[in-house]
């Protein structure tokens, strides 16, 4: 039986690149997204290109706690060990704390922080029982660098970075690896409308490749955090 990876937000950007990379590596996939049509298209494409891979999908808005809990229950109902959990789904909105729209902080925290907290808590007990597993949290260079137009997004990503560090300490004794991935500007939908050439960005496949590589270290080694930036540095 193929090993199983759980990826939130698997239809676009880094999540989509992760689905394709791990499917190519012989993993079965469980993923979620808000749009059922996007999930159906993803299922069809994976089935076409990787016929020996199973892909399980469920619609979920990770900003909604109940959706996250329902997705976690869906994963548990498969009654299969989770080898890898990638908390990838997130949202970006530019702004400044002193004048950004009311409610933006709550939106960023619910999507970028609480979703990871709730889903990890659902899935990690079985990892503890198995004494193995690897959790990757998609943080950001905004987790360690405050940007003038980063506003609540930066706050949420700083918090996610802290959450990741706490999970790392808690899960060390249980054989579970926890890794913070901190990418800089990556060519995804978050950058739509920006008038910069594609080569100024990293590719989503770059991030997927380093996660694949980090997962394949020996049991006695873990990448605790990994910072990635475009060759020419940050944008903005």
> Cα(196)–Cα(152) distance, rounded to whole angstroms?
24
**Residue 191 pLDDT exceeds 60:** no
- Token pair for residue 171? 């899960």
**Cβ atoms 28, 97 nearer than 8 A:** no
Average pLDDT on 13-20 reads: 97
Percent of the chain with pLDDT over 90: 88
Average pLDDT on 209-226 reads: 97
**Cβ atoms 53, 22 nearer than 8 A:** no
Question: Domains along the chain?
Answer: 4-228 (3.40.50.720)
> Cα(60)–Cα(78) distance, rounded to whole angstroms?
17
Average pLDDT on 187-197 reads: 65
Task: Tell me which of 16-20, 69-73, 227-231 is least confident.
Answer: 227-231
Instruction: Read off the pLDDT band of 199 (50, 70, 90).
Output: confident
CA distances in angstroms from 23 to 53, 72, 99, 138, listed in the order given: 6, 20, 43, 19
**Phi, psi of 194, rounded to the nearest 5 degrees:** -80, 130
CA distances in angstroms from 28 to 12, 94, 112, 151, listed in the order given: 18, 35, 25, 37
**Residue 69 pLDDT exceeds 80:** yes
């Amino acid at each position: 039986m193929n090993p199983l990876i759980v990826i939130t937000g698997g239809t676009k950007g880094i999540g989509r690149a992760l689905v394709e990379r791990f499917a190519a590596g012989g993993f079965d996939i469980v993923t979620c997204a808000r749009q059922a049509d996007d999930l159906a298209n993803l299922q069809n494409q994976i089935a076409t290109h990787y016929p020996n891979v199973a892909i399980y999908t469920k619609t979920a808005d990770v900003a909604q706690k109940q959706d996250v809990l329902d997705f976690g229950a869906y994963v548990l109902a498969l009654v299969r060990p989770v080898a890898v959990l990638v908390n990838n789904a997130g949202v970006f909105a530019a702004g400044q704390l002193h004048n950004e729209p009311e409610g933006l902080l709550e939106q960023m925290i619910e999507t970028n922080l609480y979703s990871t907290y709730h889903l990890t808590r659902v899935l990690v007990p079985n990892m503890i029982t198995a004494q193995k597993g690897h959790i990757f949290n998609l943080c950001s260079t905004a987790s360690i660098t405050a940007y003038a137009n980063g506003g609540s997004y930066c706050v949420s990503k700083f918090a996610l970075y802290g959450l990741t560090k706490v999970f790392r300490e808690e899960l060390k004794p249980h054989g579970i690896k926890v890794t913070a991935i901190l990418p800089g500007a990556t060519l995804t939908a978050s950058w739509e409308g920006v008038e910069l050439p594609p080569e100024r960005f990293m590719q989503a496949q770059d991030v997927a490749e380093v996660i694949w590589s980090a997962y394949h270290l020996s049991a006695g080694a873990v990448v605790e955090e990994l910072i990635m930036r475009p060759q020419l540095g940050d944008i903005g």
